[in-house]
């Protein structure tokens, strides 16, 4: 099982996808399949450059949010700023606030799940992804991220493969399907036993 931190990890590191596309987010914890250690202040372990937090923009958006308690969009903008700065606890708080206003916003729901994952709360992330899929069962970003969290957060390789196969089936020509196909191939290379049970092989999809 520890082999997942090798070939497979190299293929999928940094593939969490938010509503704005491919986020410049930190990769899963280097331990791979081991339980993630706690982080302080909701901070993640970034792999590349972390976007600096624009404090003036934050102040402006917070003022706007106070004036407009029914505006989900401004709360999502705040959450996105904190997320890109890897302040995931702050991001989660604003995504949660946005969902109180707009509970059917599937993108905000999925971004909240990603924030939970980077706060080392895999079960909470998966539960949030389930809420997203209840809103849209074919939301490919949610399914792709479900596979990532199942693989790295829960060591559930069969569950990860099933989620990624759904992405390939639902939207075979999408960027998400290309990533899911690569993940499935990497999984079969590193852990062929995880592909048992009738999950067919997938081919990486083009853009």
Q: Is 41 exposed, middle or buried (0-12, 13-18, 19+ CB in 10 A)?
A: exposed
pLDDT digits (tens, 9 = 90+) for 125-143: 999 999 999 999 999 999 9
Q: Which of 105, 97, 91 is nearest to 51 (CA)?
A: 91
HSE-up of 104 (CA within 13 Å, CB side)?
2
Residue 39 lies in a domain: no
Residue 17 bridge partners (DSSP): 22
Residue 57 lies in a domain: yes
Using CA atoms, how far apart are residues 83 and 102, in angstroms rounded to an integer?
19
36, two tokens = 């993630």
Name which of 175-179, 187-191, 193-197 the model is least confident about.
Answer: 193-197
Q: Is pLDDT larger for residue 183 or for residue 136?
A: 136
Residue 32, Ramachandran bin (φ over 0: left; ψ between -120 and 50: alpha; else beta): left
For the chain, how many structural domains are there in total?
1
Residue 32 lies in a domain: no
Using CA atoms, how far apart are residues 71 and 64, in angstroms rounded to an integer?
9
Helix and strand numbers (H, E) in the chain are: 9, 2
Question: Residues with Cβ < 8 Å from 169, sequence gap 6 or more?
Answer: none
Average pLDDT over residues 104-111: 96
Q: Which CATH number goes with the domain that contains 112? A: 1.25.40.10
Looking at residue 79, its pLDDT comes to 96
Residue 41 lies in a domain: no
Q: At what angle do helices 106-118 and 122-135 cross, to 10 degrees?
A: 170
Looking at residue 187, its pLDDT comes to 82
pTM for the full model? 0.78
Whether the pLDDT of residue 53 is over 60: the answer is: yes
Residue 98 lies in a domain: yes
Helix (H, G, I), strand (E, B) or coil at 46: coil
**Structural domain of residue 64, as residue ranges?**
2-19+52-195
Residue 94 lies in a domain: yes
Locate tokens 């980077």: which residue?
A: 118
Residue 27 lies in a domain: no
The DSSP annotation for 59-103 comes to HHHHHHHHH-TT-HHHHHHHHHHHHHTTBHHHHHHHHHHHHHH-T
Of the pLDDT bands very low, low, confident and very high (cuts 50, 70, 90), residue 186 is confident
Residue 102 lies in a domain: yes
Using CA atoms, how far apart are residues 25 and 121, in angstroms rounded to an integer?
16
């Amino acid at each position: 099982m520890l082999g997942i931190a090798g070939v497979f990890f190299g293929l999928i590191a940094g593939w969490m996808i938010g509503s704005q596309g491919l986020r410049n987010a930190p990769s899963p914890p280097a331990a791979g399949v081991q339980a993630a250690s706690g982080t302080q202040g909701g901070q993640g372990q970034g792999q590349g450059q972390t976007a600096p937090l624009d404090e003036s923009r934050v102040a402006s958006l917070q003022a706007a949010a106070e004036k407009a308690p029914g505006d989900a969009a401004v709360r999502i903008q705040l959450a996105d700023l904190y997320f890109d700065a890897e302040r995931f606890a702050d991001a989660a708080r604003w995504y949660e606030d946005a969902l109180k206003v707009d509970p059917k916003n599937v993108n905000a729901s999925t971004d909240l799940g990603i924030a939970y994952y980077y706060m080392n709360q895999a079960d909470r992330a998966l539960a949030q992804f389930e809420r997203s899929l209840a809103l849209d069962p074919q939301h490919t970003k949610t399914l792709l991220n479900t596979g990532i969290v199942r693989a790295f957060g829960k060591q559930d390789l069969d569950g990860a493969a099933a989620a990624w196969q759904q992405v390939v089936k639902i939207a075979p020509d999408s960027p998400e399907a290309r990533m899911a196909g690569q993940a499935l191939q990497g999984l079969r290379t590193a852990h062929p036993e995880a592909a048992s049970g009738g999950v067919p092989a997938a081919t990486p999809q083009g853009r």
